[in-house]
């Protein structure tokens, strides 16, 4: 069995997406997963089941090695430096400015714990507005209380 890295897998997927003119929305619809999860898996931060991985490859005209790479459990790590991409930086800034606020409000409503990023969904929507369209990001994670022992 030939194995490729998640980086090469992602490069092949991005190239095929561009060549075929397929959007993340269309790809996710074709395979029956959400656009956020589909994109995340194709960028190497999540894995897919065999059927979904092969559906991605069938849709994009990619070979078996890409489907196999999509099924590998990822190492979820990223560069610890402040992001340079403006959109990613702004999300980093939101957490920097509102992270403690979110933590306080979650603790007040739920108690001592965290929001899961495993039992989790996220949606990105567009809200049209005459003063400029708005980005709506909805995150929905299970509350995980800390235990005392």
Judge contact between 67 and 54, C-beta under 8 A: yes
CA distance 65 to 80: 30
The whole domain housing 140 covers: 86-145
pLDDT at 108 over 70: yes
Q: Examine residue 77 and state whether it is found in any structural domain, yes or no.
A: no
Q: Examine residue 81 and state whether it is found in any structural domain, yes or no.
A: no
Q: Examine residue 129 and state whether it is found in any structural domain, yes or no.
A: yes
- What's the CATH number where 107 sits? 3.30.1160.10
Based on the structure, what is the number of domains in the chain?
2
62 and 98 assigned to the same domain:
no
Task: Categorize the per-residue pLDDT at 1 as very low, low, confident or very high, splitting at 50, 70 and 90.
Answer: low
Q: Examine residue 108 and state whether it is found in any structural domain, yes or no.
A: yes
pTM for this entry? 0.84
126 and 95 assigned to the same domain:
yes
Structure tokens at 76: 């979820």
Q: Examine residue 104 and state whether it is found in any structural domain, yes or no.
A: yes
10 and 54 assigned to the same domain:
yes
β 113-127/134-145 pair status = antiparallel
The catalytic position among 7, 58, 90, 104 is: 90
Annotated catalytic, 90?
Answer: yes
The catalytic position among 93, 104, 128, 134 is: 93
Q: What is the mean pLDDT of residues 114-121?
A: 95
Annotated catalytic, 40?
Answer: no
Annotated catalytic, 116?
Answer: yes
Q: What is the mean pLDDT of residues 80-91?
A: 89
67 and 91 assigned to the same domain:
no
53 and 102 assigned to the same domain:
no
Q: What is the mean pLDDT of the chain?
A: 94
pLDDT of residue 80: 79
pLDDT of residue 37: 95
pLDDT of residue 83: 86
Q: Examine residue 79 and state whether it is found in any structural domain, yes or no.
A: no
Task: Give the model confidence (pLDDT) of 2-42 as tens digits.
Answer: 899 999 999 999 999 999 999 999 999 999 999 999 999 99
The catalytic position among 116, 127, 128, 134 is: 116
């Amino acid at each position: 069995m030939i194995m490729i890295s998640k980086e090469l897998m992602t490069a092949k997927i991005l190239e095929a997406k561009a060549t075929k003119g397929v959007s993340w929305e269309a790809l996710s619809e074709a395979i029956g997963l959400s656009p956020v999860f589909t994109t995340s898996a194709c960028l190497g931060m999540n894995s897919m089941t065999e059927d979904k991985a092969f559906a991605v490859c069938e849709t994009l005209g990619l070979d078996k090695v890409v489907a196999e790479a999509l099924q590998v459990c990822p190492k979820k790590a990223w560069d610890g430096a402040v992001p340079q991409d403006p959109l990613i930086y702004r999300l980093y800034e939101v957490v920097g400015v509102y992270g403690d606020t979110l933590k306080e409000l979650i603790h007040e409503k739920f108690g001592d714990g965290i929001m899961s990023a495993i039992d989790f969904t996220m949606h990105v929507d567009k809200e049209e507005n005459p003063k400029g369209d708005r980005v709506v990001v909805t995150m929905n994670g299970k509350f995980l209380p800390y235990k005392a022992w």
